Structure 1
Amino acid sequence: MRGLPLDQGTQKLAPPQPLARLRPDRVLAVLLLIGLASFASPGPLETAQDLVSSVVRAVKPLPKDPHARALALMDQAPVIDGHIDLPILARWYYANDLEAFDLREETRGQVDLPRLRKGKVGGFFHSVFVPCPEDVGFPVDSDSNFTSPSFRVRDTLEQIDTARLIIGKYSPDLEFTPTASAWRRAIKRGKVGGMLGVEGGHQLGASLSTLRAYHALGVRYVTLTHTCHSALADSCGSSEAPLSTRWDGLSTFGRAFVREANRLGVAIDVSHTHPKTASDVLSLSAAPPIFSHSNARGVHNVVRNVPDAILRRIGSMDPARRGKFNLSEDGERGEGWGADTGEADKVVPAGDAIVMLNFSPGFVSEYPGGEGRRADVQAMADHADYIGRLAGREHVGIGSDFDGIEAVPEGLEDVSKYPNLIAELIQRGWSDNEIRGLTSGNILRILDKVEAVAHAQRHLLPSYEVFEGRKDLVKHDKPPGQ
């Protein structure tokens, strides 16, 4: 109560002055500060403290030096990385024994608490990944019915358990944040927030019940495929072994999956997918899809990166960018996927999407066998600039793939080095708001919209769709044994 005006005769709080009684110059100043605060804030203003912080941000000058400015902006909007494979490190090196390593010290990977703090990280998606069945000796599902027993669901549950145990063990620093608003609150308290992402449709066992169980355990996005096709959709394969389509994009069951994920509030991740799969999702999903860790084919032509036509389609959601595109002016010179089918002009019902930059050198600038430019900060920034030019800078984020990659770009060796990329983009002319969007504002906006769709669909019943290849789950007219 200190510092508030008092009526000296009654010692009661004096009523606040209406704006009409204030001097016009003071009214203008207050309105200007509120306007600046709203403009400067990367997310919704939830408390009076938020307003005060935003006013200070609006009037306090930022350093001019690019690296110092990067750090100041990242204090305001810390990095939320769309794809970190910390649970993989725990599984591969330590058989999920969390007592065998300590995140409070430097790990043998690219992620630990000291480096997260140095890199101005406000959170990340813990990728819960297990390999495609054929990669570990099970039958090749792309030639079968995608129901061969492979223990992939069991192994995914182990990885979900590991991710949640990591967050719990280091709870003074880490926090599970099941919603975008919870993530914002955690960042304000100085915590490193986190959601879970399942990196492959093969990890569902061709079951929507599995999707619902994963969501209940904290999964907030599912990647439709990894390097293998799944019961849901077509994969692009890998640079060494690109795949032809099997389903021509989404399967019938995959379409049911997209609708159920929308209902639950699980984002659809189309990294690793064939472009036709990504196109189908952009056309079908009511909630914005994500590329959790992908780059641009127009900069580096490998199958894992996003074609120009898809990037232009994302950009066409902005009326200022909408129109017939001359793809021959882009990196693929009009010869990439979707250039001859009008892909770039197709509608995106969700009205939003995000492409999050992957730091794996093979997706940045290098080719197998040592060919190509050495991946570095500048090459990574080239992808950010390119995606920003075609899709819009409001549709760019960071999805490093740290702890899931062995090689790294020069200057981006671990999570402590994010400021190097931000400083490079500042030097290239990215505005303060564009930087705050890249680091975390854009992905939080997407999550808000995914949650809003789920809220709007809360009246819908769960889907009981059964994958066409399942022979073990059919309806019967007679009791068992008759």
Structure 2
Amino acid sequence: MPAPTPPSDIADRIAALLDRHPVWDGHNDLAWEARGQVGYDWSALDIGAGTAGRTHTDIARLRAGGVGAQFWSVYVPSDLPGSAAVTATLEQIDAVRRMVETWPDAFALALAADDVEKAWASGRIASLMGAEGGQSVDSSLGTLRMLYDLGVRYMTLTHNHNTPWADSATDEPSRHGGLSEFGVEVVREMNRLGMLVDLSHVSAATMDAALDVTEAPVMFSHSSARAVCNVPRNVPDDVLARLGDNGGLCMVTFVPAFVNPDIGAWRAEAADAARERGIDPASYTAFSAFAEEWEAAHPIPPTSLDDVVAHIEHVRDVAGIDHVGLGGDYDGASGFAPGLEDVSGYPNLLAALVGRGWADADLAKLTSGNMLRVLRDAEGVAERLATERGPGTARFDRG
């Protein structure tokens, strides 16, 4: 069943709000989709002309969704070895930068909070980058610093697999039980640089360990609430409760398996079946192909926009209104709820929240106000730390 069309008065109210406070989304995998479909040839994946049916994202639909800032994920698989992961990440960064250069009337590269506001003033979509997984730096603080210099403004500490210094939510717990000593130094160096520490994908132990170390607000770029949908990728309430003191942000994702308990159970069953077949469910490429086959014989349960609303309101209730945002994960998942099928759907979500009594001031925090504050706060910490310590010198012991 399609999502209902908002009444004209609510639609007008949301349009006016988005004009002042556009959506700042935490995670979009268009660059990886471009790699798979066209080898990063933006002329063959013309998001200016429109790519409906091929991707969840193009310029017209970003405009329709009221998106004014996007963290473009520069994702690479977490089972890529060492330097291969670094090379693939550099290719992703290049792809995002070339996308911005190809459509300069639509996009503006943003390296700081001030750049985001300048992009809005010019009517363009602020484009930031986030590296999805510590595999992208191959256990090197020097590589981390170079990614920052190239424009990466957050790094997710892990993806689906553990790194040698941090535990993932979807891998076996390692001997360091969260963060190793080197992992602590990674967080400290990210604070010093002003690179946001992203705790999506990491284990609960890693979440707590990072919160114990960090001097800057953390973020969850695309995670939801474990109390509403009990899957490892979601955030437990005790961690959500810590965001108030930290100043951080949980950007609620729309991924069906992370918002709907029935689909979460379906995915867990598929993961068990994959293991029986000798397929690692943490391997994004291999498991995605298996899941398509599994779905043909085991239809996926339905999801709805209300599932996402439940997570947003739970995060608000536990962490506080200053600590909730949006992280759709478009072009990184499939089967999104009716009304949220692609990046044009954010107004439908806001309309549902209006129907539940949300005030414009709170909607403005959800769409972008909270993320703007978090980035500014991280920049402030980096400015202070620049006077207190130099670049980290820790080196990972490769044995």
TM range (shorter): 0.7 to 0.9
Partner of 2:259: 364
- Alpha-carbon distance in 2 for matches of 1:160, 1:388: 33
| Distance in 2 of aligned mates of 1:246 and 1:122 | 42
Q: How far apart, CA to CA, are the structure 2 residues paired with 1:252 and 1:380? A: 36
Quick one: distance in 1 between partners of 2:258 and 2:35? 24
How far has the Cα of 1:373 moved from its partner?
6.0
Among 7, 17, 35, the residue aligned to 1:73: 17
Do structure 1's residue 468 and structure 2's residue 397 form an aligned pair? yes
- Partner SS for 1:193: strand
8 Å contact from structure 1 (residues 397, 437) kept in 2? yes
**Match for 2:40 among 88, 96, 100?**
96
Cα distance between partner residues in 1 of 2:121 and 2:83: 42
User: What TM-score does the superposition give when structure 2 sets the normalisation length?
Assistant: 0.86
Could you say what secondary structure the match of 1:462 adopts? coil
Q: What's the offset of the Cα at 1:183? A: 0.3
**Which sections of structure 2, spanning at least 5 residues, go unmatched?**
1-6, 270-297
Question: Matched residues in 2 for 1:257 and 1:296: separation?
Answer: 26
Q: Structure 2 CA distance, aligned partners of 1:388 and 1:99?
A: 41
Quick one: which of 309, 326, 329 aligns to 2:238? 309
Aligned 8 A contact 1:245 1:274 in 2: no
3-state SS of 1:438 partner: helix
Instruction: Give the match's secondary structure for 1:313.
Output: helix
Q: How much has 1:71 moved relative to structure 2? A: 1.7
Q: 2:86 aligns with which of 149, 153, 163?
A: 153
The match for 1:334 is none
Corresponding position: 1:256 with 2:185: yes
Q: Distance in 1 between matches of 2:308 and 2:337?
A: 8
Contact conserved, 1:236 with 1:304, CA < 8 A, in 2? yes
SS of structure 2 residue aligned to 1:116: helix
Identify the residue that residue 280 of structure 1 maps to in structure 2: 209
Question: Which position in structure 1 is the counterpart of 2:154?
Answer: 221
The letter of the residue matching 2:159 is H
Match of residue 62 from structure 2 = 116
Shift of 1:64: 8.7
SS of alignment partner, residue 234 of structure 1 = coil
1:371 Cα offset (Å): 8.4
Q: Is 1:293 aligned to 2:222, yes or no? A: yes
Alignment of 1:124-139 (within 5 A): 124-133=70-79
Correspondence list, 1:184-223, <5 A: 184-223=117-156
Deviation at 1:121, TM superposition (A): 0.8
Q: 1:353 aligns with which of 248, 254, 261?
A: 248
Correspondent of 1:393 among 314, 318, 321: 321
CA distances 1:336-383 after superposition (whole Å, capped 9, x unpaired): xxxxxxxxxxxxxxx301000111101110232668862221110000
Identity of aligned residues (%): 41
Q: How do 1:32-43 residues align onto structure 2 when only pairs under 5 Å count?
A: none
Aligned to 1:30: none
The amino acid of 2:253's aligned partner reads N
Following superposition, the deviation at residue 281 of structure 1 comes to: 1.1
Contact 1:66–1:424 (Cα < 8 Å) also in 2: no
d(CA) in 2 for partners of 1:207, 1:150: 11
Structure-2 separation of matches of 1:244 and 1:409? 32
Q: Distance in 1 between matches of 2:349 and 2:174?
A: 35
Number of the residue aligned with 1:437: 365
| Pair 371,445 (structure 1): closer, same or farther in 2 beyond 3 Å | farther
> Which residue type is aligned with residue 311 of structure 1?
L
Q: Return the letter of the residue paired with 2:198.
A: D
CA contact (8 A) 1:201 1:231 kept: no
Matches within 5 A, 1:45-60: none
Measured in 2, the distance between the counterparts of 1:454 and 1:277 equals 22
CA distance in 2, matches of 1:443, 1:75: 17
Correspondence for 2:292: none
- Take 1:300 and 1:388, find their aligned partners in 2: how far apart are those partners? 16
- TM superposition shift of 1:253: 0.6
Higher RCO structure (Cα 8 Å, ≥6 apart): 2
Bigger radius of gyration among the two? 1
- How many angstroms does 1:150 deviate by? 5.2
Tell me the equivalent position of 1:24: none
> Does the alignment pair 1:380 with 2:313?
no
Q: Which blocks of at least 5 consecutive residues in structure 1 are unaligned?
A: 1-62, 139-148, 318-350, 472-482
Please name the residue that 1:105 is paired with. Answer: 49
- Number of paired residues? 357
CA distance in 2, matches of 1:377, 1:224: 29
Q: What are the equivalent positions in structure 2 for 1:156-195 lying under 5 Å apart?
A: 156-195=89-128
Are the counterparts in 2 of residues 290 and 355 from structure 1 also a CA contact under 8 Å? Answer: yes
Alpha-carbon deviations, 1:369-409, whole Å to 9, x = none?
66886222111000001111011121000111001112211
Quick check: 1:174–1:193 contact (8 Å CA) kept in 2? Answer: yes
CA RMSD of aligned residues (A): 1.6
In 2, Cα distance between the equivalents of 1:79 and 1:304?
Answer: 23
Q: Higher helix proportion, which one? A: 2
Find the counterpart in structure 2 of residue 458 from structure 1. 386
